[in-house]
Amino acid sequence: MNEIKLVSVKNVTAGYDNKVVLTNVSLDIYANNFIGIIGPNGGGKTTFLRLLTGEIKPFSGSISFKNDMSIGYLPQASQIDKKFPISVTEVVLSGLIGKQGLFGRYGKNEKQLALEYLKIAGIENLGKKNIGELSGGQLQRTLLCRALISQPQLLILDEPNTYVDNKFEGELYELLNKLNQKMAIVIVSHDLGTITSYVKTIACINKTLFYHESNQITSEQLASYNCPIQVIAHGPIPHTVLLEHNHKH
Amino acid sequence: MLLAMIKFFEYQFVQNAFIASVLLSILIGLVGSYIVARRLVFLSGGITHASFGGVGIAWYLGLNPIAGAAVFAVLTALGLEVLTQNKKLREDSAIGMLWSFGMAIGIFFVFLTPGYAPNLMSYLFGDILTISSTDVWLLVALSIITLIFYAVFYHAILFYAFDPNYAKTQHLPVVFINIILKIIIALVIVFSIRAVGIILLISLLTIPANVANLFTNKFTKIISFSFLVSMISLIVGIIFSYWFNVPTGATVVLTLIILYLIARLIISIRNSTRLTKA
């Protein structure tokens, strides 16, 4: 068991423009975690991720990170400017910016590394393409490569399964399973059915955070967490995801 | 005719104008590409117009109007950062306010200044033939600083511009890059005022990079291609200013628009021949 604590969120209140989105959120993230975040739209899922990545600071409470913590972040594809003149390889290389720093040079070794990640994502033939020419799924793969190339200790994914074909979705979850041996993963998803078969634990976020130490969750538990999300199971699911509660009619 | 040409190039102010247009084109290539890629066109328009406040105050006090414009341009660029911090004010609204605020200050002080102001038109519409040797040396300095900044931080600038949020999550000093780039943008704008004037300046920042972007998506190529495009337009501007005595700014803008239309035509012809071949 890898019990190194990467992030410690304590009693955090956060939001934008003095408008509070999250109140009293606490969560510890350990090196071996694979946490699925669920919750209704506008409940604060993305806000929570922004706290983890350091994009926003909490109004109150504290977030502490392990020394030299590195984060790979896969934002929602809609946040990317697809008209920006930049190639797939360059986007992947930009994932190294934390390591390379302000004066960073990107030579043969870095480009070779980028190519390896493109191969993992199955898009090695797209390296020279401009991001504007990509499909939604190809863009997601590119952004995943960017998040992975720095070999982060914590990988954060914001709805990686929107705009993505089913094939990639399956591949993605298998890949994440493998990656979880090396890094902690936090993933936001609407798709409760699929997500729960891969994650280890679940966090429900709706104005605050309820942590559920298992990947199996019942509708009643969801209701008690004040987490009104639609439970729809998709396609063939490896094992029971949502426990049926025992009805006594 | 030949004699007239030789005489034309013998004038110090003509030589200044040509050297200035090469240097300005380098700056426009570097900064315009960034402005267009990051969608900062409206912000740049705001900085440009706000700088008129500096022109007006300097005019009133009898100082160098370009120095006044530089102060106002940099303060506007930094002021926008402060005003939009914490999202208390939306950026486009803040730009709209500072844009008109600067113009108002400028007009106010120009009218307070006694006497007729014939040279004022050159700040609004541009007159590249009035660029002095001092201006040229200042342009040399700014070009060197900007080139070094881009050469040293090229990838940091590109990656920051593409996705500032991601750069922040990777602990890149995004505030540093942003502030330095905004100051450079402000100074490039001020130095372009002499050439094309405040009112038409936005086209020089926008059109060359857009022409380039029609042919290439590579950032370095967009920079060098827009250098060429702005160079052509400024030279046409100099020639028309000299022989027909029309403001440089108007000529430059019309040339740029024509170049853009030609570029679009080339692209559509290329696409249609590709289609017929296929």
B162 CB within 8 Å of a chain A CB: yes
Cα A153 to chain centroid, rounded: 13
What pLDDT, in 10s, does the model give residues A115-170? 999 999 889 999 999 999 998 889 999 999 999 999 999 999 998 877 677 777 78
Residues of B in contact with A54 (CB under 8 A): 168-169, 171
**Distance (Å) from the alpha carbon of B184 to chain A's nearest alpha carbon:** 18
Residue of B nearest to A92 (CA): B159
| Start and end residues for every CATH 3.40.50.300 domain found in chain A | 1-69+153-249
Q: Which of residues 90-149 of B touch A (CB under 8 A)?
A: none
B39 CB within 8 Å of a chain A CB: yes
**Distance (Å) from the alpha carbon of B229 to chain A's nearest alpha carbon:** 18
* CB-facing half-sphere around the CA of B201: CA atoms within 13 A: 34
pLDDT at A2: 54
A1-69+153-249, superfamily in CATH? P-loop containing nucleotide triphosphate hydrolases (3.40.50.300)
| Domains observed in chain B | 2-272 (1.10.3470.10)
The larger pLDDT score, comparing residue B8 to residue A9, is at A9
pLDDT at A196: 75
What pLDDT, in 10s, does the model give residues B25-74? 999 999 999 999 999 999 999 999 999 999 999 999 999 999 999 999 99
pLDDT confidence of B119, banded at 50, 70, 90? Answer: confident
The Cα–Cα gap between B40 and B32 comes to 9
pLDDT confidence of A228, banded at 50, 70, 90? Answer: low
Cα–Cα distances in angstroms (integers) from residue B272 to residues B214, B216, B268, B275, in the given order: 15, 18, 6, 5
- Residue B88 and residue A53: Cβ atoms within 8 Å? no
> Do B146 and B27 form a contact (C-beta atoms < 8 A)?
yes
pLDDT confidence of B178, banded at 50, 70, 90? Answer: very high
pLDDT at B197: 92
**Distance (Å) from the alpha carbon of B274 to chain A's nearest alpha carbon:** 18
Residues of B in contact with A90 (CB under 8 A): 158-159, 162
Beta bridge partners of A158: A188
**Distance (Å) from the alpha carbon of B67 to chain A's nearest alpha carbon:** 31
Residue A62 DSSP label: E
Tell me what ipTM this predicted complex has.
0.88
The Cα–Cα gap between B91 and B88 comes to 9
> Do A55 and B168 form a contact (C-beta atoms < 8 A)?
yes
The minimal CB distance from A85 to the residues B169, B171, B218 is found for B218
pLDDT at A232: 46
> Do A243 and A217 form a contact (C-beta atoms < 8 A)?
yes
Cα–Cα distances in angstroms (integers) from residue A66 to residues A9, A14, A31, A97, B166, in the given order: 12, 21, 10, 20, 20
Q: CB under 8 Å, gap of 24 or more: what pairs does B120-123 form? A: B120/B55, B120/B59, B121/B247, B122/B194, B122/B197, B122/B247, B123/B52, B123/B55, B123/B65, B123/B69, B123/B193, B123/B194, B123/B197, B123/B198
B87 phi/psi in degrees, rounded to 5: 55, 35
What pLDDT, in 10s, does the model give residues A52-79? 998 889 999 999 999 888 999 999 888 8
Close Cβ partners of A116 (under 8 Å, ≥ 6 residues apart): none
B172 three-class SS: coil
- Region B178-204: mean pLDDT is 94
Q: Which of residues 86-145 of A touch B (CB under 8 A)?
A: 86-87, 90-91, 93-95, 97-98, 100-106, 130, 132
Residues of A in contact with B218 (CB under 8 A): 85, 87
pLDDT confidence of A235, banded at 50, 70, 90? Answer: very low
Short-list B205, B214, B213, CA closest to B233: B205
**Distance (Å) from the alpha carbon of A91 to chain B's nearest alpha carbon:** 8
